[in-house]
């Protein structure tokens, strides 16, 4: 993909907690483009995170920053470090796009509708990430990938990367047919050997069907309020649904401590938290982020093999010209 100077137009989606330097480097080294989430960190931690990733790959990558958390100093750290790209999500901030662009970074902006894509492109974005409603984790818009991608492609003249529900070569081929220049894949990489998630979480990903996820406006709102998201249905979401999907403040067992992070910090029920490998407690009841494409995720594989398989299968799908004959 020219805008990203990468061999294969496959991007590993930033996944806070789950997509660390090993996963991102493996994708970059396999010819894809990795995006590392470094938001929520201090400036020094952002710089250290970039150094850590650079020790594992000399390929291009982008740093993902969350616009609803402090990001300005973190963006300056990315600029000082001369990273190839920056990916901005959860908001629209033309001044941040312009600042990164003026500093020479490739700017990727996540959107949920065509109007946002136009604003981002006018502000100088290089690549639009069109995130459909099928996506796992926090989901910015409410339009499905199938409808969103062509609408965004028609709205802007810059490359569009499709996100949400894409987990294999067929999905990639479909996205390219809709006009996307590349794909941004999250849930499938949760089943990579390099993803840093708890084994119970990974086991649920490998078993879940396309109907096993739940989108909610504010279920896992502790630590990040009013931010819609999609996660696997579990005992927490089922008890909440049985109680009538009540609003925060009125949900079953609020403030209950259900586990501990590897650093000893407590995990509360309804907390926005990606269970890391050494998490202890009731992992099943935590926010097990997942997209609807989860039914296509059936095997743990090295990230490089996932990139290769998706790329070759997409190529095959696109070369099979006899579909309509
Ligand atoms: C565990 C997890 C964590 C995520 N964290 C982030 C994040 O930190 N930054 C971000 O821009 N998107 C985040 N997302 C959303 C992904 O970047 C991406 O849009 C989504 O995974 C695409 O849909 P898919 O899961 O169906 O492939 C996360 C998704 C998951 C599954």
Residue ranges of domains in the chain: 2-194+297-319, 213-289
- To test the pocket of ligand 1, the residue of 12, 13, 197 to mutate (highest count of ligand atoms within 8 Å of its CB) is 13
Question: Residue 224 Cα, ligand 1 centroid: separation in angstroms?
Answer: 15
> pLDDT value at position 2?
87
Question: Residue 163 Cα, ligand 1 centroid: separation in angstroms?
Answer: 9
> pLDDT value at position 315?
96
- The mean pLDDT of the chain is 97
> pLDDT value at position 324?
72
Nearest to 50 by CA among 96, 17, 83: 83
Count other C-beta atoms under 10 Å from residue 255's C-beta. Answer: 9
- Rounded to an integer, the average pLDDT of 47-61 is 98
Q: Is 133 in the pocket of ligand 1 (CB under 6 A)?
A: no
pLDDT of 186 > 90? The answer is yes
- To test the pocket of ligand 1, the residue of 11, 14, 65 to mutate (highest count of ligand atoms within 8 Å of its CB) is 14
> pLDDT value at position 46?
98
pLDDT of 317 > 80? The answer is yes
Phi then psi dihedrals of residue 57, to 5 deg: -150, 145
C-alpha 176: how far from its chain's center? Answer: 19
- Rounded to an integer, the average pLDDT of 218-225 is 96
Atom of ligand 1 nearest to the CA of 197: 1
* Superfamily in which the 2-194+297-319 domain is placed by CATH: Aldolase class I (3.20.20.70)
C-alpha 200: how far from its chain's center? Answer: 20
pLDDT in tens, 115-144: 999 999 999 999 999 999 999 999 999 999
Question: Residue 13 Cα, ligand 1 centroid: separation in angstroms?
Answer: 6
> pLDDT value at position 167?
98
Cα 195 from Cα 309, distance rounded (Å): 17
Region label for 29, one of left (φ > 0), alpha (ψ between -120 and 50) or beta (otherwise): alpha
- Rounded to an integer, the average pLDDT of 6-32 is 97
Question: Residue 165 Cα, ligand 1 centroid: separation in angstroms?
Answer: 11
> pLDDT value at position 301?
98
Judge contact between 145 and 130, C-beta under 8 A: yes
User: pLDDT class for 1, splitting at 50, 70, 90?
Assistant: confident
Phi then psi dihedrals of residue 199, to 5 deg: -65, -30
pLDDT in tens, 101-123: 999 999 999 999 999 999 999 99
User: pLDDT class for 10, splitting at 50, 70, 90?
Assistant: very high
Q: Is 134 in the pocket of ligand 1 (CB under 6 A)?
A: yes
pLDDT of 320 > 90? The answer is no
Cα 48 from Cα 66, distance rounded (Å): 18
Nearest to 201 by CA among 188, 191, 186: 191
Question: Residue 14 Cα, ligand 1 centroid: separation in angstroms?
Answer: 6
pLDDT of 19 > 80? The answer is yes
pLDDT in tens, 249-297: 999 999 999 999 999 999 999 999 999 999 999 999 999 999 999 999 9
């Amino acid at each position: 993909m020219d805008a990203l100077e990468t061999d294969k137009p496959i991007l590993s989606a930033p996944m806070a907690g789950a997509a660390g330097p090993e996963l991102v480097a493996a994708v970059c080294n396999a010819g894809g483009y990795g995006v590392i989430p470094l938001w929520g960190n201090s400036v020094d931690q952002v710089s250290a995170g970039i150094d850590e990733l650079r020790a594992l790959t000399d390929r291009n990558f982008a740093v993902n920053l969350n616009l609803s958390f402090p990001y300005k100093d973190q963006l300056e750290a990315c600029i000082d470090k001369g990273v190839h790209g920056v990916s901005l999500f959860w908001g629209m901030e033309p001044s941040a796009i312009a600042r990164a662009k003026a500093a020479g970074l490739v700017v990727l902006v996540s959107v949920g509708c065509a109007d946002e894509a136009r604003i981002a492109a006018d502000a100088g974005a290089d690549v639009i990430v069109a995130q459909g409603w099928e996506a796992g984790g926090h989901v910015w818009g409410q339009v499905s990938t199938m409808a969103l991608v062509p609408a965004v492609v028609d709205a802007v003249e810059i490359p569009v990367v499709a996100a949400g529900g894409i987990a294999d070569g067929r999905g990639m081929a479909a996205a390219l047919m809709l006009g996307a220049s590349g794909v941004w894949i999250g849930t499938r990489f949760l089943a990579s050997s390099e993803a840093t998630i708890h084994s119970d979480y990974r086991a649920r990903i490998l078993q879940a069907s396309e109907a096993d996820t739940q989108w909610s406006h504010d279920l896992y709102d502790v630590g990040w309020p009013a931010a819609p998201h999609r996660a696997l249905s579990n005992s927490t979401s089922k008890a909440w649904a049985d109680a009538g999907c009540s609003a925060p403040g009125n949900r079953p067992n609020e403030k209950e401590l259900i586990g501990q992070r590897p650093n000893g910090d407590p995990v509360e029920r309804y907390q926005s938290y990606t269970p890391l490998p050494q998490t202890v407690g009731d992992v099943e009841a935590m926010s097990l982020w997942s997209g609807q494409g989860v039914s296509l995720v059936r095997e743990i594989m090295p990230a490089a093999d996932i990139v290769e398989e998706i790329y070759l299968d997409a190529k095959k799908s696109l070369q099979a010209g006899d579909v309509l004959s």
